[in-house]
Amino acid sequence: MGIQAVKVAGQEACSAAVGAPRAGGLSAFDPLDPATVADPFPRYRWLREHAPVQRNARGMWTVARFDDVRRCLHDPRMSSRPSRFSVIARRQREASPPARVACSLLPLLDPPEHTRLRRLLAQVIGEQRVGSLRPRAQAIVAELLAPARDGAPFELIAELATPLPVRVIGEMLAIPPADLPQVKAWAGEFFHIFGPAVDGAAYARLSEAVERFSDYMRGLIAARRRSPGADALIALIAARDDEDRLDEHELVVTALLLFTNGEEALAYLVGNLVWALLQAPEQLARLRGEPALARAAVEEALRYDTPAQIVGRTALHDIPLGGETIRAGDPVYLLLGSANRDPARFADPDRFDIGRRDSGHLGFGGGPHACLGAGLARIEAQAVLEGLLAAGSRWEPLIDRPEYRATLFARGLKRLPMALRAGR
């Protein structure tokens, strides 16, 4: 979730090539299988009960239980670098511009590079630094929801959950509003590098988009240095740790990461959260009566239907785990979505409960690579929830069944048309 989602996609982008065979049955875990994407939780349950640490025929490990997943997230022997199977690793050998950028992303770095970069970025975008953005996020939500008042239909993902983070991040970086659609389009192309198959023409478009985004940001950085302001870009330029500071390439890559991941991740979180509330009317009624539970509702959605269902790691050494031995060099899927439904950690885990007391989910990962964008994601998701409650006391979904995006690496609805009405 948040910056976490890039790690999910980038670590094992070629899952179509290396995923478990589609042999059928609950034991055959495939994150691209349509049935698994629609409802992964029976398969997670089977894995937790019968094969909590499992290696498939192509050498990919899955880890399903909460304690094991948490242990791996904190284990320095588990690398965040792309494994030998990754599209990124192959593209890195070709030294293409997109791969050079991808391999500089914070979620795909290990210490000491990761430690240094995270320490600098946390000065600006860490959870303790983004609280001042709450009023602006609330104002943007109110503006985006204005056409949806009085029962007019609207599409939650496209009309609210997607544009909100784009505008927030655009304002953070002081990007002129007129430039924002083009900058967003360039950044959006970048996610194609994490796909299981990128043909020559698509890769050429991707390379051009990355180059144009980089050129634009370098120009913006130069302009901000000449005319400083109070925005986050200036803060990133000025961030330093002793004599260390971000170089221009790191500034460009950070901006790209914020754009590409902020948009996608919040859309997944908001869609999953609102759908869960629509399916649990007693919880929605409780939230209406106790609006202060909005923050707790966001946390429960992160646990109950985790947007970043899978985090990739690569073993640096042989690691005993769950009665198995993961060998050095083996790629590993840490199933956050399964860990967050583990009954050994959470009481009645398949129930969505905004009053849940057993917190401590892994929705933002954990350990040194816990999502650095978690604070911003929480602020934006809570602003959406508060805005929806203010805009209409009765929420009506205009679909019977949700359609999820085609992979579990980042689980979220494709669309959620709704109507907000007054009354009960």
Answer whether 181's CB lies under 8 Å from 73's CB.
Answer: no
Residues 6+ apart with CB under 8 A from 330: 55, 59, 60, 61, 83, 314, 315
Question: Can you read off the two tokens belonging to residue 224?
Answer: 């901000």
pLDDT of residue 216: 95
pLDDT of residue 350: 97
Residues 6+ apart with CB under 8 A from 198: 87, 192, 206
> CA 6, CA 105: separation in Å to the nearest integer?
8
Residues 6+ apart with CB under 8 A from 212: 186
pLDDT-derived band of residue 12, with 50, 70 and 90 as boundaries?
very low
pLDDT of residue 7: 47
Question: Can you read off the two tokens belonging to residue 365?
Answer: 């990962």
Q: How many distinct structural domains can be found in the chain?
A: 1
pLDDT of residue 105: 84
User: Does 79 score more than 80 pLDDT?
Assistant: yes
Query: Largest Cα–Cα distance of the chain, in whole Å?
Result: 61
**More confident of the two residues 87 and 302:** 302
Domain that holds residue 55: 4-421
**Ranges 22-31, 244-253, 268-277: which has the least confidence:** 22-31
Average pLDDT over residues 339-343: 98
**Ranges 53-57, 216-220, 266-270, 330-334: which has the least confidence:** 53-57
> CA 154, CA 398: separation in Å to the nearest integer?
9
Full-model pTM: 0.89
Which CATH number do you get for residue 64? 1.10.630.10
**Ranges 199-208, 225-234, 326-335: which has the least confidence:** 199-208
Average pLDDT over residues 186-208: 73
Q: What is the pLDDT of residues 363-405, one digit of tens each?
A: 999 999 999 889 999 999 999 999 999 987 789 999 999 999 8
User: Does 6 score more than 80 pLDDT?
Assistant: no
pLDDT of residue 83: 65
pLDDT of residue 392: 79
> CA 12, CA 206: separation in Å to the nearest integer?
19
Q: 6, 334, 29: which is closest to 194 by C-alpha?
A: 6
pLDDT-derived band of residue 304, with 50, 70 and 90 as boundaries?
very high
**Ranges 45-54, 180-189, 199-208, 280-289: which has the least confidence:** 199-208
